[in-house]
A = this chain, B = another copy of it.
Amino acid sequence: MAASVPSPSPADKFTFGLWTVGWQARDPFGDATRPALDPVDAVHGLAERGAYGVTFHDDDLIPFGSDEAAREQHIARFRKALDETGLRVPMVTTNLFTHPVFKDGAFTANDRGVRRFALRKVMRNLDLAAELGAHTYVFWGGREGAESDAAKDVRAALDRYREGLDLLASYVQDRGYDIRFAIEPKPNEPRGDILLPTIGHALAFINTLDHADMVGLNPEVGHEQMAGLNFVHGIAQALWHGKLFHIDLNGQRGAKFDQDLVFGHGDLLNAFFLVDLLENGAGGVPAYEGPRHFDYKPARTEDFTGVWESASANMRTYLLLKERAAAFRADPEVVEALAAARVGELAQTTLASGESYADLLADRSAFEEFDVDAAAERGAGFVRLNQLAVEHLLGAR
């Protein structure tokens, strides 16, 4: 049977990092299996496959240590490719992890000189991000962490992290850049433990910033799943705080090294509910309007044919899940099962409108005369609902 898979188009807002299709597949135990991919070729390749945009770390585009002339040339070639293809650059970020100077972190390195260098590296790249029209700037603090609890004063580190972000936010505001920051949490790897390890830790940290309003999150599927956390729950909480500024889609198979698989090649059921939340989470319309950004790595076993097939695979699976989620929500049996499971009832306030705790205390039906056993016996109907989701996911309904 011919595949009934929808084709991606820029309207779907799919974006990819230069470092994804461009990953040379060097891993802790192996050398590169693919040559470097010219960013210009990356742009064209993504555009041909229906992507909306491309993102990058400074060093993806301009090798670390390039002089000003080389820098301008790299940027010019990239801009030309963007112009030719119409690809957008919705997000930019900084590489604060590859060079050995960042081996103990960037904003939170014990070495103050490194911290200052890191801030400058970001500032320079913020200018470029603004120039290219990016509206989101991601901070992944992959080296902000430690292997020994004796070696890092975590509270001082959080002070420095805050100092750095406050300074950079002021810079962006003063320059008038239309850019928001998005922190990307990760529990570990490459450091033994990374600061702001989960969506929650980063959300809490953001609340302490001078310009908290312009700072949100860029959660990544695999990063939360490495800690065994439910990504859908994490995204829901991020949305609840109004902080889902960007999202990194990929796949991971449990608590192990960071796999960066193709989206859907990890926990497929969770991916289904994620797409459902993003696309239908605001009463049937999208709860998130930003780019659907794939931060994955084409497997080390693949050549460039495989690289491009893997890029397309991310988009195809997303679109299929979107279709399945729409059908799930439209199915009258699902609607009925949701009602039976009282899912909507949770949107009702626990106290009635105008009811005070004194009223609640006075309501004998709430406690003294509440039929605990009857309430305890009622089946919740959750398994039926989950099975309906599975059957929709499998395309069987």
Contacts and interface: CB of A to CB of B under 8 A. Distances in A.
Given A103-B380, A380-B302, A394-B394, A148 B389 contact: yes
Interface string A227-260: 1111011101101110000000000011111110
Interface in A123-178: 123-124, 142-143, 146-160, 163-164, 167, 170-171
Interface string A300-325: 11111110011001001100110010
B395 A396 contact: yes
A100 interface: yes
A107 B387 CA distance: 26
Contacts of A121: 367
Contact of A32 (B100, B104, B349): B100
B268 A302 contact: no
A217 B222 CA distance: 27
A145 B142 CA distance: 27
Given A98-B29, A253-B192, A382 B147 contact: yes
A306 B386 contact: no
A353 interface: no
Contacts of A393: 268, 394
A69 interface: no
A384 B309 contact: yes
Contact of A115 (B262, B320, B350): B350
A120 B351 CA distance: 12
Interface string A212-224: 0000000000000
B99 A388 contact: no
21 contacts: A28-B258, A30-B98, A110-B342, A111-B345, A150-B386, A151-B343, A154-B237, A155-B240, A158-B236, A159-B347, A167-B357, A197-B200, A204-B207, A255-B256, A265-B387, A267-B267, A299-B380, A305-B379, A309-B383, A317-B394, A395-B395
Given A3-B396, A28-B258, A103-B300, 5 more contacts: A5-B397, A30-B100, A189-B257, A227-B229, A394-B395
